[in-house]
Structure 1
Amino acid sequence: MSTLNGLPAHILLVHAIVVLVPLAALLLVLSIARPSLRERLAGPNAVLSLVVLALVPVTTSAGEWLQSRVGSTETVRKHAEQGDTALYVVIPLAAMALVVWWRGREADALIERPGGGGGGVATLTRTYLAPTTRVVTTVVAVLAVLAAVAAVYDVYLIGDSGAAATWQDSFSSTPLPDAPQGG
């Protein structure tokens, strides 16, 4: 992908990444921290995380296209190298979003069936991610929070290096003589 509406696609796609990765991370943490929200958030967040996972390679590819058309500076190279790390933090973020969603589905699949003798008999469907096990729940929660923090921090670092590559030494700290005066 090269341009959208005459602008480099990378600079437009980056905005989606900068908004959607932290949003997916926040929804993941909320799904872990608030079981009451998990049912409503886990499914949409799993879909959102997969969309983000698909957007990252498209964005980095558009960035490579743009890199070959701007001056090669140290800040541009640094940004490109950091941009290549995005996939490595978005994969765990998406994986944890899927695990949280799937565990919720498995927990919902634990059904109560009426049994003989006047009492109910719990019947378990086959589960793979131990939705009722406290130890597994704790491990999943810790891994999910780590994945969320790593993804947000990496996007911050990539964005900071991209801003430096774009704007460093590109503007004046004082207004230009013919610039409109404003507050």
Structure 2
Amino acid sequence: MDLTTVDGVPLHPLVVHAVVVLLPLAALGALLIAIRPAWRRRFGWPVLGLTLAGVASVPVAQFSGRELKHAIGVRNPLIEQHSDLGNQLLPYALAFGVLMVLFLVAGRKADQQAEAGTAPATWRRVAVAAAVLVAAAGVASTVQVVRIGHSGATAVWNGVGTSR
């Protein structure tokens, strides 16, 4: 397996920054638009764009991480821990992305239902539940990103090339 590089720098430390920036930023945006329905109507689609970009960057980071791990060729427990944590992120990110879509669709349906004045306000209840779930999924994704980033930084700063 050849190591993908950009101007001599392995792709992984470059692309991982997309995950580190986009997923937590999307989570913050999700929290804000979950709190204020007016913000959801105005900023929901841009937050969804951030979320989808963050989710899409996860498999790229995982692939480039596997390439880098293989290229290093040293069995290091710190790298193994980082790799194991990194492999756990995609389900969190996918759940966050799916819940964001559900939240925006339910919110839009709730708005339409409110404008029409029809009862019962079923979509309003779904939108509130989706808001809680998307906020929780955003926080969970961010926590996982922080855990992965910390383990990666620990592996780098404690000497990638050594087997400790």
**What is the TM-score of this pair, normalised by structure 1?**
0.77
Higher fraction of strand: 1
Residues 33, 123 of structure 1: CA spacing in aligned structure 2 closer, same or farther, 3 A cutoff?
closer
What is the identity, as a one-letter code, of the residue corresponding to 1:86? L
Q: Which runs of 5+ in 2 are unaligned?
A: none
Give 1:51's match in structure 2, choosing from 44, 50, 53. Answer: 53
What SS class does the counterpart of residue 72 from structure 1 fall into? Answer: coil
Give 1:139's match in structure 2, choosing from 120, 129, 140. Answer: 129
Point out which structure has higher relative CO (alpha carbons under 8 A, 6+ apart): 2
Residue 69 of structure 1 corresponds to which residue in structure 2? 71
1:86 aligns with 2:76: no
Higher fraction of helix: 2
What is the identity, as a one-letter code, of the residue corresponding to 2:102? V
- Structure label with greater radius of gyration: 1
Residues matched between the structures, number: 155
Root-mean-square deviation (CA, aligned residues, Å) is 2.1
* Contact kept in structure 2, 1:31 and 1:100, CA below 8 Å: no
- Superposition deviation, residue 169 in structure 1: 4.6
- Superposition deviation, residue 104 in structure 1: 2.7
Tell me the distance in 2 between the aligned counterparts of 1:40 and 1:97.
Answer: 15
Matches within 5 A, 1:85-124: 85-110=88-113, 122=116
- Superposition deviation, residue 61 in structure 1: 0.1
Deviates further, 87-96 or 101-110? 101-110
